[in-house]
Structure 1
Amino acid sequence: MVSRHTSCLSSKALRSQCLNRRMPQAAFSTTSRRNGYDDTIQNLKIGSHTRVIFQGFTGKLATANAQESIAWGTNVVGGTNPKKDGQEHLGLPVVGSVRKAMEQLKPDATGIYVAAPQAAAAIEEAIEAEVPLIVAVAEHIPIHDVMRIHSMLKSQSKSRLVGANAPGIISAIGRCRIGFQPLPTFSPGYIGIIAKSGTLSYETVGSLTSAGVGQSLCIGMGGDVIAGTNFVDALKVFETDDDTEAIILVGELGGTNEEEAADWIKNYNKRVSNPKPIAACIGGFQAKPGKVTGHAGAWTGLGEGTSEAKYKALEAAGVTMVDHPAKFGGVMKDILAKSGRNVKKIEQSAAQARRGYHTSARRPALYATRTTSPQQRRSLHLSAEQNANILKKYNIDVVSKPEDHQSSHYLGISPHRVNRSPSIIAAPTANPDQLHQRVRRFPFDYREGPSPEAVNDAMAWLQLDAAPPKAKAQAAELIQNLWKLYTEKEAIDAHVSLSLNPNADEIQVYNPYLFFDDAAYRSNQRQADLHALRDTLSPTEQEAEEAGIVYIPLDTPQPDGRLQASTQTPPSTSSLTDGEPRNLVGTLVNGAGLAMNTNDVLHLRLSQPPYSTANANFLDTGGKATSQTIKTSFKLILSDPRVAVVFVNIFGGLTLADMIAGGIILAFKEVGVNKPVVVRLRGTNEEKGQEVLAKANLPIFAINDFEEAVKKVGELANGGK
């Protein structure tokens, strides 16, 4: 294993004196013998020694990011652009290909700063060139491109991927950033972080910095369905990292990675005499069922745990759970002390490191001048009739209802998030009450298709291995036909229910469920025929999508505790009944993870006496919100007559707090805000944002502390002032 800071590892007592002058013995080796993708995990240990290149180096985003990262201390050695081979940019060499960069610049890592349509090819080029660490920040890369990439990664032992759709990876100790994290928030210290959500990770970092314990290594897992680096990968790094004294996990609904992490932590706590303390936060308790909540992977599939299940699994493993990341600073100091570690010494060491630690004072203006936002990407569901027509083209005939007294089974193709591959999904019943508990996934390689072993295992689990030969052959053929549909139409899920007719010795297919990846069209103009089948959007949906906003009205709580399902279009004032609540909270948040967590905490704090309120919506402006985006968000929120107060909760990364403040003022002028507004601005340019709001002299409650802001929201929603 190659250390980030070899000169200091011989004596832990000298660590605090070496934080700002550590030197490695060598960079990562790309020629050492390894056994597979898992053996690339240690490539995540970036630091001052890490030589970084940028793919898409001369683009605006890469240029701004490189300038900021270099000023912070990142060892950027150049970048690539096929059209500018041999030129210089920012005083650094530009070469025509990643392979050429490996020969001439000898990088340890590459940051991919190209748009989603080009991102998959850029990642593949980096894998083929055997770059040790590949960081992909782009969102909306089609899932089939991602699965193909992971098929490549699993067949090699040189390259490790972080992302996609992730803020990247950053060593606060080694001053190495590969991503777009807000640098002023970070400080060197001893807490390792792995997070699905960028904004929740920034909240976490801010809390640790305020508490004086800082961060060692922060890894953005990303919010896609399949991630290049997951929780268990990061835990393995943190376990052996002498710079990490404690660990934080930030998760959310979707997949089973949190449960896998819980199993690893249970084993870790048993086999290690003094394990590093671990804390975690989970988002998505209040997410609307059936909706993709901002992040592409933020939905719960069959057999996958809810946010509550993830929380309980981690808690049972001995993890200290918090409900909001602003609490992490105090919690980490507490559990460090309980574990027998010297918290005062850790604080003093982190403080000494900060004295020689510099961050860029200003973010380049390129971020602020962006005037358009990418359209919102939605996953694509079609009607039952449309699904049946598509299946028929793949020799799969659907019946409306199977004959009575036949056995039922469930079969399909679905992503296996932990295995990073497609899988056959199967259950020996199609009964909705039993399906979630009895479904299993049987993974296979994307480039090879369903293997005989996966097919046989799935057939056995379906309890069709003893079926008549004709029925077994039909089921095996069905798997192959579903796989062909799955790849050709770029589905996320392609499932059907089966019935076995014992008299005819054959199977019938019914109740199809097809779930397509709209990013294939949005990012790469593929699957235009499927995209054309989308339902006509309501005016509210259309306006949100065009502005790049994820806006989901939430269900209305009823007096008897039931939920009344809302449509995507908020109700009109005249449609509200006398008993329907009019004191709900409208939320405006940047980042899907923070938006989910904000709704979770509002529900937790305000649904009980002395308050009696609930959330009206989920609204994520995205990571690059503009003043116009904020204005449109207010318009969408206030179109819902149930809203009594608006809560703006922004933690700025790429989003600038002063720009958000300008958008709020614009909304007051042009939308006509007639409800009280509570604003919490943190992160990049937060002081400027607060100053802008103060000078506007508007009825805005600007509150920095999250708990105080939530309390004020509750008071205002319930008739207080």
Structure 2
Amino acid sequence: MRARSFPHVAFRLSRARTAGFSTSSRVLGYADTLRNLKIGAHTKVLYQGFTGRQATANAKESLEWGTTIVGGVKPGVEGEHLGLPVFPSVRVAKEKSNPDASAIYVPGNQTAQAIEEAIEAEIPLVVAVAEHVPVHDMLRIHSILQTQSKTRLVGANCPGIISAIGKCRIGFQPLTCFAPGRIGVVAKSGTLSYEAVASLTRTGLGQSLCIGMGGDVLAGTNFVDALKIFENDEDTDGIVLIGEIGGTAEMDAAEWIKDYHKRTTNPKPIMALVGGLEAPKGRVMGHAGAWVAPGEPDARAKYDALQKAGVTLVSHPEKFGPGMKTLLGNTGRGSNTSTTPTPAGQRRGFHTVRRTRASGQFAQRRSLHIKQHQAFDMLKEAKIQTQAKEASPEDFHLSVTVDRTSLSPCVTVSSGNKSPKSSLRIPFNYANPEFSSSTAIQSEIVSFLGFETDYQEVVGKYLQELYNIFKDNEAFVLETRASFSPEKKIVVHETRFGFDDAAYKSSGRHEKLHQLRDFAAEVPEEVRAEKSGIVYVKLEGEGSIGTLVNGAGLAMNTVDALILKGGKPANFLDAGGKATSATVKECFSILCEDARVKTIFVNIFGGLTRCDMIAEGIMDAFKDLDMKVPVVVRLRGTNEEKGQKLIAESGLPLHAFDSFEEAAEKVISLTKA
């Protein structure tokens, strides 16, 4: 793949200065904010949206845990909250309390504005946890971030960042999972990261620094950023990396790790998991960024790249603890384990007599794909010719989409019937509306396609019209297959246009466009689930195991792990990180309507979701839905003992486990029986 570099995305840490973050004889840029990720006991935290219900509850927990919070912001208001000062703006907060970090607790439609205010005040670290932040809002934010060297962003749509050894939490991670230790964690998925952290804690290793990269399309901090921190962190002896489908961050990490192993005599052991190995193509799998754009690798390619780089891969996060303990012992770092007792809620709990031992609030849909005739209408309005026809070798593919590495829009081009992997990618500045007039870009595209130079102007005009549609309607991907007419005009034969659902649902923008959604053409169960805040994807084939999981990453991994063991999942189902007993009951109702389902596998890791609440939802479902199929329940995390006890004493035909391996084997055996 060939790529074009632009100044606004060219900032990189050179190997020679990574350890000390030297900035001599060089223009400063966003990469120089990496050091701001190293939070700890010294970090002074500010809250934006401080007096809101969620921020208040979170701040109370963090204060009790030991986080230093210096106050918060409520626009235009001065006063006191939780015994701490309330500032009228981030600028005033900067002047009076000089915070090191800001936790942004405002809705998705206000997040970009809050981030921008923090950037203007030069807050060193900004953590944005909100979901449903419009993609184009974040494209604008990243065009700003890349022009400065003071502020580092984590998120959006992430659990945040937490120092277990420094007792500093900036986010909503479940604190009972964490213990001081020597393992650094970076993850796209929140729930998978909690599973990994809990496994490390149960094994006695604990954690040093945990960075939630988040599941959005545009992440302010990525895997390579975290790896650079962990490489030189004296508190970190081992590294856990958790990825999934979407983007190239895992591939970039694999390249960095290969180089790290070459230049390091005793590298820190690295373990990883990649979710979505069995994800159906063309679907958004819960997370806003869990989809594959043109030219991007799938999960299997990421898995293979990390494995070839020398990373130890696991099939489930509960394997991280034992696996890392072995790797640390092999490298002579095994003595550096946590001396903190296992926190409450992480012990093995109650089980039903049926347990057997092995011998050894809306859904995160985030996409609207319109029909081809609707896309053709948009193109015709832009005076672009259209004519549907079968593909031919003379065709070329030209798309405008989001480049997750450069954190900007990009053009992708491929010719004929070649694989999209053999493509040209050209990132460009979101703030530059005249990029298509660049003769250098036009020449590169025309040369790549093998056409003469007199086609350049036509390509430039086509690019500009596509970009106008992309920006004016807040698209995340505009794919086109086209060819040149004898008159040297571009004729589009096929399209795939996708638009950001968050721009409409959280911000109320583009209502007319989103009214084009054809609910009648969609899977009824998926539409029904969405109304209850559930992300449900009906998998093709003869799937016989209904899955009910909280968290998109964990839901993908559950499907992957069941298939690896010979099971046949019927669906992907993310009940949400804040699932309630009512949500769980609705999930059961949807699963039971699928005639293929012979067993149901409930795999819950309680972070924000409490295991006892999930257990109550399961029991309500049995009472009200006249359940006929056997159910295997795995509960881990917050209040796991209470949840397991409720199930054990319910008298219902449930099979309860705390080990994923045992639970998966049980549900597969029940299905076969």
TM norm structure 2: 0.91
Q: Could you tell me which of 70, 73, 86 is aligned with 2:63?
A: 70
Contact 1:82 1:96 in 2 (8 A): yes
Cα distance in 2, alignment partners of residues 199 and 331 from structure 1: 19
**Paired residues for 1:362-373 under 5 Å:** 373=361
Q: Indicate the SS of the match to 1:436.
A: coil
Give the aligned residue type for 2:114: A
Shift of 1:541: 2.9
Match of 1:456 in 2: 440
CA deviation profile, 1:212-265 (whole Å, cap 9, x unmatched) = 011000000001111010000000000110000011100001111100000000
Cα distance in 1, alignment partners of residues 314 and 77 from structure 2: 49
**Paired residues for 1:245-644 under 5 Å:** 245-341=237-333, 343=334, 345-347=335-337, 350-351=338-339, 354=340, 373-401=361-389, 407-427=394-414, 429-431=415-417, 434-449=418-433, 451=435, 456-457=440-441, 459-463=443-447, 467-468=451-452, 471-501=455-485, 503-537=486-520, 539-557=524-542, 584-605=544-565, 607=566, 613-644=567-598
CA deviation profile, 1:372-428 (whole Å, cap 9, x unmatched) = x33443400011100000111222221223897x7222112111101111011111x
Match of 1:42 in 2: 35
In the superposition, relative to structure 1, how do residues 359 and 680 fare at CA in structure 2: closer, same or farther (>3 Å)? closer
Do structure 1's residue 235 and structure 2's residue 189 form an aligned pair? no
Cα distance in 2, alignment partners of residues 119 and 33 from structure 1: 32
In the superposition, relative to structure 1, how do residues 453 and 261 fare at CA in structure 2: closer, same or farther (>3 Å)? farther
Cα distance in 2, alignment partners of residues 400 and 205 from structure 1: 51
Do structure 1's residue 701 and structure 2's residue 655 form an aligned pair? yes
- Contiguous gaps of at least 5 residues in structure 2: 1-20, 347-360
Cα distance in 2, alignment partners of residues 476 and 301 from structure 1: 22
Cα distance in 2, alignment partners of residues 424 and 251 from structure 1: 25
Contact 1:302 1:435 in 2 (8 A): no
Match of 1:574 in 2: none
Shift of 1:507: 3.1
Cα distance in 1, alignment partners of residues 548 and 447 from structure 2: 49
Match of 1:658 in 2: 612
Cα distance in 1, alignment partners of residues 425 and 182 from structure 2: 38
**Paired residues for 1:126-205 under 5 Å:** 126-205=118-197
Match of 1:52 in 2: 45
In the superposition, relative to structure 1, how do residues 223 and 375 fare at CA in structure 2: closer, same or farther (>3 Å)? closer
Cα distance in 1, alignment partners of residues 450 and 229 from structure 2: 46
Kindly, what percent of the aligned residue pairs are identical?
A: 52
Contact 1:471 1:500 in 2 (8 A): no
Q: Could you tell me which of 676, 684, 687 is aligned with 2:638?
A: 684
In the superposition, relative to structure 1, how do residues 378 and 668 fare at CA in structure 2: closer, same or farther (>3 Å)? same
Give the aligned residue type for 1:37: Y
In the superposition, relative to structure 1, how do residues 453 and 39 fare at CA in structure 2: closer, same or farther (>3 Å)? farther
Shift of 1:525: 0.3
Shift of 1:461: 4.1
Shift of 1:452: 6.2
Contact 2:43 2:101 in 1 (8 A): yes
Shift of 1:123: 1.0
Shift of 1:495: 2.2
Contact 2:634 2:656 in 1 (8 A): yes
Cα distance in 1, alignment partners of residues 271 and 601 from structure 2: 27
Q: Could you tell me which of 661, 669, 672 is aligned with 2:626?
A: 672
- The CA RMSD over aligned residues, in Å, is 2.2
Q: Indicate the SS of the match to 1:331.
A: helix
In the superposition, relative to structure 1, how do residues 98 and 199 fare at CA in structure 2: closer, same or farther (>3 Å)? same
Q: Which has the higher contact order (CA 8 A, sep 6+)?
A: 2
Contact 1:35 1:157 in 2 (8 A): yes
TM norm structure 1: 0.85
Cα distance in 1, alignment partners of residues 189 and 153 from structure 2: 17
Contact 2:436 2:461 in 1 (8 A): no
In the superposition, relative to structure 1, how do residues 403 and 149 fare at CA in structure 2: closer, same or farther (>3 Å)? closer
| Alignment: residue pair count | 636
Shift of 1:518: 1.0
Shift of 1:516: 0.7
**Paired residues for 1:102-141 under 5 Å:** 102-141=94-133
